[in-house]
Amino acid sequence: VQLQASGGGLVQAGGSLRLSCAASGSTLDSYYVAWFRQAPGKEREGVSYISSIGSTTYYAGSVRGRFTISRDNAKNTVYLQMNNLKPEDTAVYFCAAKKNRPLSSLWMLASGYDYRGQGTLVTVSS
């Protein structure tokens, strides 16, 4: 499966963006998908995760209550709605997918995912 993230851009603090992770080459409905981000000079961070049918979601503490992950398997797309953005959310965001369900304590490890898309840059100005 090939993944492509889009929807990034420049937004003021307090604003919103919706990222999309579109899949091609295979249907996404059997994959577990997560969003990650990496800011310059910082460690890669798991942002959010969604199970193959969308019944289970996880969030990093830094985004919980502000970000919402969802998926539309009919459109082969996973979304990340980001509200009340803060300057510290500035990063390159990318999505990753895996066939097998990760352990709940390990969803945030990017190395556990089999496929990764190109990132999209999110810049939040203060």
pLDDT in tens, 56-111: 999 999 999 999 999 999 999 999 999 999 999 999 999 999 999 999 999 999 99
Tell me, what's the pLDDT at 91? 98
User: 19: which strand partners?
Assistant: 80
The pLDDT, as a whole number, for residue 103 is: 92
Chain-centroid distance, C-alpha 94: 6
Query: How confident is the model at residue 22, as a pLDDT?
Result: 97
How far the first Cα of the chain sits from its last, in Å, is 37
Q: Which helix (H) or strand (E) holds 68?
A: strand 67-72
Reported as a single tens digit per residue, the pLDDT across 11-48 is 999 999 999 999 999 999 999 999 999 999 999 999 99
